[in-house]
Chain A
Amino acid sequence: MAAKPGAATPTYSPKLVGRSRLPVFKDSDLDWSRPDGRGFHQCRPALLQTGAVSSASGSAYAEFGNTKVIVSVFGPRESKKAMTYSDVGRLNCNVSYTTFASPTLGQGTDHKEYSSMLHKALEGVIMMETFPKTTVDVFALVLESGGSDLSVVISCASLALADAGIMMYDLITAVSVSCIGKSLMIDPVIEEEGCEDGSFMMTCMPSRYEITQLTVTGEWTTPNINEAMQLCLDACSKLGEIMRDCLKQAASPSDE
């Protein structure tokens, strides 16, 4: 990506809402900072790039801290013969990990459901009726797992779909929040995910202000849910702008 020299890598931290969040440190006995020295409501710098794979119809590469993901989109192409006629298109998603993605060998079973979750996050936003009888394949490969993998995969996939020229209602952005003790931290890294009390992942369409997918695990109080949702919505809209800029940059003819 041809970033302007001198300009810092774009990030998409949500603005701090209302009061400062000092009590986070006071009330709980967690007097630690985050492993990578970020603020609790600060996201990792996002690097996004389209056109990473030349043979695909569209592709994108995303790097959020240590999480590195590549997504290729193929199609729309003819559905397999065995499939019956369908007047709307089909979406086929697959998320896989490289063998060296995570420090521990033998990946957990956690990753199996990612494919279906990616599918669910995307199906609502793609205009399936624009490619009847055909299938679009979305293949995501996690090169390095550094936390918040699924949200990075989803955001990256929507960028790749846009790059492939698949019609969508809006871009999809995904952000996750971890709850540890009383504090909420956005865009958790893998160390934080390992000890979290609850996780919250949201995908939304920033321009339409609609949530397409939401998963919550762990124990959450209603105020916490509200706060996490606000944080995510704000971060999603900012991430959306970065993604839009990335697409515009790729589309505009380079000056050199």
Chain B
Amino acid sequence: MVGLSVGEQHFVKGGIAQDLRTDGRKRLAYRPIYVETGVIPQANGSARVKIGGTDVIASVKAEIGRPSSLQPDKGKVAVFIDCSPTAEPTFGGRGGEELSSELALALQRCLLGGKSGAGAGINLSSLLIKEGKVCWDLYIDGLVISSDGNLLDALGAAIKAALTNTAIPKVNVSAEVADDEQPEIDISDEEYLQFDTSSVPVIVTLTKVGAHYIVDATAEEESQMSSAVSISVNRVGHICGLTKRGGSGLDPSVILDMISVAKHVTEALMSKLDSEISAAEACEDES
């Protein structure tokens, strides 16, 4: 929770109305983004993303599992978010739980696409090893280390970077087995598969403060918001997910306006993020 005096509240709101925010940014400007990959050696892929004072880590772990009976031709992906009380005292106990599940749900919605798999950032069919028998289960874990607003965008970016960094061992399945038996598998130590993460969308949250909306809100600005809309947009400009937070209602035309602004902002953010991720990957390869 951010405690702002009435004067400070006016200052934040007034700045946004005049397109000059407290840290000198314009309404549609992001804070500098810093990406580091391969930060967790135990995971198959990991990344740390810092956006201003917001600092998050995402890790991807892959485990051999069984496809669900409803979708025998697909692997499984689960997203968990942990908002630890080390980031902020209010995250202790139930407070963190609520926010964690809200963020995890929003990320799932943005990354996993519809029921048929359309618009999914991760191609679930590529996680399949043998239909109905063996598949990869991906566990995506996000950890909030420090929170200064805009957690969802940061986590989305971190997951995108972590997936780019992920290497999944190649698996050889032994030849024919009876239908009711689990096939034997052999996990290779040398050959790894990389994900194609070009279709993973980025998430842009537009926070409405007063009559205007801003991107990449800090915690101070978020405390003054009336509502926020998170929109995930993929490379071809399609909307892959949308969630709204905050109780107050929005006019339909404002939402459509927000969507077009988000698409515009995404283009710049996507290329920025791509170059940061490839730079981080290159940096990791060198070391």
Name A's B-contacting residues (CB within 8 A).
Answer: 113, 116, 120, 123-125, 179-180, 193-199, 204-205, 208-222, 225-226, 229, 233
Contacts and interface: CB of A to CB of B under 8 A. Distances in A.
Nearest to A222: B259
Contacts of A221: 238-239
Contacts of B244: 120, 211, 213-215
B256 A225 contact: yes
Given A124-B248, A198-B114, A217-B112, 6 more contacts: A195-B115, A214-B229, A216-B242, A218-B115, A218-B118, A219-B114
Contacts of B24: none
Nearest to A230: B252
Nearest to A199: B114
Nearest to A195: B116
Contact of B114 (A116, A197, A209): A197
Interface residues of B, number: 35
Contacts of B229: 214
A219 B240 contact: yes
A93 to B, nearest CB: 13
B104 to A, nearest CB: 9
Interface of B: 98, 101-102, 105, 109, 112-116, 118-119, 229, 234, 237-252, 255-256, 259-260, 263
B247 A205 contact: no
Contact of B255 (A195, A214, A218): A214
B138 to A, nearest CB: 16
A216 B239 contact: yes
Contacts of B245: 120
A215 B243 contact: yes
B116 A222 contact: no
A219 B119 contact: yes
A218 B256 contact: no
A209 B113 contact: no
A210 B240 contact: no
Nearest to A170: B249
